[in-house]
Amino acid sequence: MLNNIPKSFTPELLKLLMEMGHGETLLLADGNYPAKANCPPGGVILYIPAESIQSLLADILRFFPLDYVPAQPLAVMEKAAGNGVLQGYEAVAGAGKIECVERFAFYEKAGKVAGIIVTADQTPAANILLQKGVVQA
């Protein structure tokens, strides 16, 4: 065990976050996401039984620098705007940082991730992509 590491983090999740380079993308997926069918070659699939992607996102963003090159380094499906998911994520990440993407365009982006974190969240369209930035000294 380590001090100040969220209980939602596993050794595998820490390893993935540490190994990712800037510009690479991470997908936090709900429990219904077809991870095995959509994980790119070389991509990592981890299963973390977090019941809320929003709380896992908050834990991850304490350590994970977001990319500054795209205006919106986070992305969700358009449907997330209509079911309250977007608003919850904006409360964690800040307004204006999240792009809403058409469903199949989201799947296309998700097909290029470095890793997929499958959660126990059952909220429809709760998936979110995070693009990693550079750690500033």
> Does residue 27 carry a pLDDT above 90?
yes
Instruction: Residue 42: give its domain's CATH number.
Output: 3.40.1650.10
Distance CA 116, CA 113 (A): 7
pLDDT on residue 61: 97
pLDDT on residue 48: 97
* Number of folded domains that form the chain: 1
Domain presence at residue 4? no
Domain presence at residue 18? no
pLDDT on residue 83: 87
pLDDT on residue 2: 83
pLDDT on residue 136: 83
> Does residue 17 carry a pLDDT above 90?
yes
Range of the domain at 90: 24-131
> Does residue 131 carry a pLDDT above 80?
yes
The residues carrying an active-site annotation are 22, 67, 107
Domain presence at residue 112? yes
Residue 78, Ramachandran bin (φ over 0: left; ψ between -120 and 50: alpha; else beta): alpha
CA nearest to 118, candidates 7, 28, 42: 28
Do 45 and 35 meet the contact criterion of CB atoms below 8 Å apart?
yes
Q: Within a 10 A sphere around the Cβ of 104, how many other Cβ atoms?
A: 9
Residues counted in the chain:
137
Instruction: Quick: pLDDT tens for 85-124.
Output: 999 999 999 989 999 999 999 999 999 999 999 999 999 9
Domain presence at residue 97? yes
pLDDT on residue 81: 84
Domain presence at residue 3? no
Instruction: Quick: pLDDT tens for 32-89.
Output: 999 999 999 999 999 999 999 999 999 999 999 999 988 999 999 999 888 899 999 9
User: β-strand 74-77 against 98-101: which pairing, if any?
Assistant: parallel
